[in-house]
Amino acid sequence: MEKKYTIVGIDEAGRGPLAGPVVAASIIIDEKFLPEDIDDSKKISEKKRKLLYKNLIKDASQLGIGIIDSEEIDKINIHNATLKAMKESFDKIICDDCIIYIDGIHKPKIKEKSYAIKHGDRFVPVISAASIIAKVTRDKIMEEIDEEFPLYNFKKHKGYPTKQHIENIKKFGVCKYHRKTFSPISKL
């Protein structure tokens, strides 16, 4: 009899922004709950992403979230922070005989069988599911940060280096959620 493994998908959101945390999600979900048109969170509309998020949260058998804030990102760098968020998200999953599919070319130190898959969020539905969970979770955090610091309009650009965001940084300076080691902030 062939051994059955539990499949876990892991992805992150927020490597590139100038502000806010990096968020990773790990998910175990039955394939029957993954829509055929599921895709990388960056390739679908915000409205569809939120709808998929609700369904994924409801249908997931297990879910783990890892969040590394901007202060720690500045201390350990974005690469290490991303791997740490991924490991933290996976550490909240309980499974024996897991196979873990991770988006990207690097993987955190996980003792179970794990595979880093370049562009995995485009090709592996369970990674796409993790991508959506991570992105919507991070977007919610950025909307909360916007309430504290409305001058930056975080709810719109989510901390990414848009023209408006960079202009606001030059105009108002940085806030506690900005990543001080990221350019152009590090040059100010």
Domain assignment present for residue 86? The answer is: yes
Domain assignment present for residue 120? The answer is: yes
Q: Does residue 185 register a pLDDT over 80? A: yes
Q: Domain of 84?
A: 6-187
Strand partners, 116: 102
Q: In this predicted model, what pLDDT tens digit does every residue of 169-183 receive, in sequence order? A: 999 999 999 999 999
pLDDT above 90: percentage of residues in the chain = 88
Q: In this predicted model, what pLDDT tens digit does every residue of 96-124 receive, in sequence order? A: 889 999 999 999 999 889 999 999 999 99
Domain assignment present for residue 60? The answer is: yes
Domain assignment present for residue 16? The answer is: yes
Q: In this predicted model, what pLDDT tens digit does every residue of 54-88 receive, in sequence order? A: 999 999 999 999 999 999 999 999 999 999 999 99
Cβ 130 vs Cβ 9: under 8 Å:
yes
Measured between alpha carbons, how far is residue 23 from residues 11, 13, 91, 178, 179 in Å? 9, 5, 14, 15, 14
Looking at every residue in the chain, the average pLDDT score rounds to 94
Domain assignment present for residue 79? The answer is: yes
Q: Considering Cα of 43, then 135, then 171, then 183, what sign does the dihedral take?
A: negative
- Cα–Cα distance, 123 to 29 (Å, whole number): 16
Q: What does the pLDDT read at residue 36?
A: 83
Domain assignment present for residue 153? The answer is: yes
Domain assignment present for residue 1? The answer is: no
- Cα–Cα distance, 185 to 168 (Å, whole number): 11
CATH number at residue 145: 3.30.420.10
Domain assignment present for residue 65? The answer is: yes
Strand partners, 13: 23
Q: What does the pLDDT read at residue 21?
A: 98
> Looking at the 3D structure of the chain, how many domains does it have?
1
